[in-house]
Amino acid sequence: MLDLMPLRRFIYTLTMYLLTPVILYRLAVRGLRYPDYFSRWRERFGFFSDPHIHDSIWIHAVSMGEVNAAMPLIDALMQRYQGTPFVITTVTPTGSDRVRRVYGDRVFNVYLPYDLPASIRRFLKRVRPRLIVVMETEIWPNLFFECRTRGVPIVVANARLSEKSLRGYGPVRPLAKSALASAHYVAAQSMTDAARLRDLGADPDRLGVVGNLKYDMSVPAELKAQALSMRAGWGARRPVWIAASTHEGEEEPVLKAHAAVLRKFPDALLLFAPRHPERFRQVALACRSFGFITRTRSEGGGADADTQCFVVDTLGELLRFYASADVAFVGGSLVPIGGHNVLEPAALSVPVIVGPQTFNFTDITASLIEAGAALCIADGDALGAMVIRLLADEHLRKRIGDAGRAAFEREQGGVLRTVGIVEKVLEERGIGDRKPESSQSH
């Protein structure tokens, strides 16, 4: 039978090269609104100074959300493989900023190159990984094939695949199937994800349900004290709710909901945390256009007693503001984005509200709703009434919050199971505890 895979890869790679000008144009357009997209652009083609590291453990996480999910795993691997260099790649500036703030020079952080063979080869030549851990849904055919060619084992961790994403592979599905089949292990979040990943091409003998690493996130011990301190500055007894990780198309429903909340609770405060930095300014302007007394985190640091909307226009602080809220609406769920991480507020015993579009977090959201730890609204028009209902009923808030915390604790353990998988893969390859080669030998 004729093997069409080389032809498919050739067509895919040719298409990627032909699309490179379009990709660069898109990068430039995003850079106009968020200048960090202009910087370090050469890294996206595998050009960066040789860090002189060898036998590194490489972890790839697309953006800040994936980085946050990966952090417990990164910490555990750094503890297990002390003395081993770690490389963490991201795609977005927000993800890169998060890595650099948390890990500093303890890791080497660089952007993942575009899925062009020459770019991937340049990257691999400079970081010489002993293993790559790919977080969640990043299946890049040339990346997987080049790693396979060089004998670099691939572990797909916290793997998830929505029905929409499965359909979205379309004409490149055979190529994605071959790429995924080359992974040494695929650690799925749930049985549903495992079934879809198996349909896409994961080897059933190297596929397992490990659980969601987001359940293993650590809650800083000082978080509660920080939250109480912030609440004292705002007015300790004020009703406070947060609209987090919102997208375009969700701001107006949130602001209309807050107008309704203010009619019931005139001293209520809305914490507004847009998902992307390029929307920070637009959201602040929208709050003011509604007539709300508005302050932003970057302008003054905190809210006053008379502030009605407080825009969290900084990165890496969302957990602190979740801890300060009585109720949390998690965005990306009123528009077809697929929702965002509902576990952060649940871990803090904060009642969660989501819209109907949660296909990226179907199992987690469904489990929280079933456990009585989250509430789903039909559309944006229902948001205000739901927030009012929760703010008016302290006992209901406590019951939902306690259920969220219990569900969060019940599902923990995915990090240890994933570390065990990494250990096994490295041992099978005969490189489990191999000491990094001296850079002098190269």
Query: Within a domain: residue 30?
Result: no
66 in active site: yes
Q: For the chain, how many structural domains are there in total?
A: 2
Mean pLDDT of the 152-168 span: 90
188 and 256 assigned to the same domain? no
Q: What is the pLDDT of residues 30-63, one digit of tens each?
A: 777 767 777 788 999 999 999 999 999 999 999 9
Query: Within a domain: residue 381?
Result: yes
Residue 440 has pLDDT above 70, yes or no: no
172 and 305 assigned to the same domain? no
Query: Within a domain: residue 33?
Result: no
Q: What is the pLDDT of residues 316-341, one digit of tens each?
A: 889 999 999 999 999 999 999 999 99
In angstroms, rounded to a whole number, what is the distance separating the alpha carbons of residues 345 and 325? 9
The answer to whether the beta carbons of residues 360 and 273 sit under 8 Å apart is: no
Mean pLDDT of the 199-227 span: 92
The predicted pLDDT at position 436 comes to: 55
**Full DSSP string of 370-427:** HTTSEEE-SSGGGHHHHHHHHHH-HHHHHHHHHHHHHHHHHT--HHHHHHHHHHHHHH
Q: Of 213, 51, 46, 60, nearest to 131 (Cα)?
A: 60
261 and 386 assigned to the same domain? yes
Residue 1 has pLDDT above 80, yes or no: no
Query: Within a domain: residue 435?
Result: no
Q: What is the pLDDT of residues 359-384, one digit of tens each?
A: 888 888 999 999 999 999 999 999 99
Active-site choice (43, 66, 136, 344)? 66
167 and 90 assigned to the same domain? yes
Query: And the tokens for 224?
Result: 């509660």
The predicted pLDDT at position 435 comes to: 57
251 and 163 assigned to the same domain? no
Rg of the chain over Cα atoms, rounded to whole angstroms, equals 23
Q: Is the pTM of this model over 0.85?
A: no
Mean pLDDT of the 227-247 span: 94
403 and 255 assigned to the same domain? yes
Query: Within a domain: residue 420?
Result: yes
Residue 433 has pLDDT above 70, yes or no: no
- Give the pLDDT band of residue 280 (cuts 50, 70, 90): very high
Residue 120 has pLDDT above 50, yes or no: yes
136 and 242 assigned to the same domain? no
403 and 419 assigned to the same domain? no
105: Cβ–Cβ under 8 A, 6 or more apart, which residues? Answer: none
% of the chain with per-residue pLDDT over 90: 76
144 and 181 assigned to the same domain? yes
Ordered strands of the 294-296 beta sheet: 294-296, 309-311, 269-274, 240-246, 327-330, 352-354, 374-376
Mean of the per-residue pLDDT values of the chain:
92
CATH number where 289 lies: 3.40.50.2000
Look up the domain containing 49 and give its range: 45-211+413-428
Query: Within a domain: residue 3?
Result: no
Query: And the tokens for 242?
Result: 């947060």
| DSSP-assigned letter for residue 114 | P
- Give the pLDDT band of residue 218 (cuts 50, 70, 90): confident
The answer to whether the beta carbons of residues 118 and 76 sit under 8 Å apart is: no
The predicted pLDDT at position 432 comes to: 67
CATH number where 143 lies: 3.40.50.11720
Residue 442 has pLDDT above 50, yes or no: no
Residues 389-393: contacts with CB under 8 Å, at least 24 apart: 390/241, 390/326, 390/327, 390/351, 390/353, 391/239, 391/241, 391/261, 391/264, 391/265, 391/268, 391/326, 391/327, 392/264
162 and 84 assigned to the same domain? yes
Query: Within a domain: residue 193?
Result: yes
110 and 182 assigned to the same domain? yes
Residue 221 has pLDDT above 90, yes or no: no
Beta bridge partners of 129: 56
- Give the pLDDT band of residue 236 (cuts 50, 70, 90): confident
Query: Within a domain: residue 393?
Result: yes
| DSSP-assigned letter for residue 45 | G
398 and 417 assigned to the same domain? no
The answer to whether the beta carbons of residues 53 and 83 sit under 8 Å apart is: no
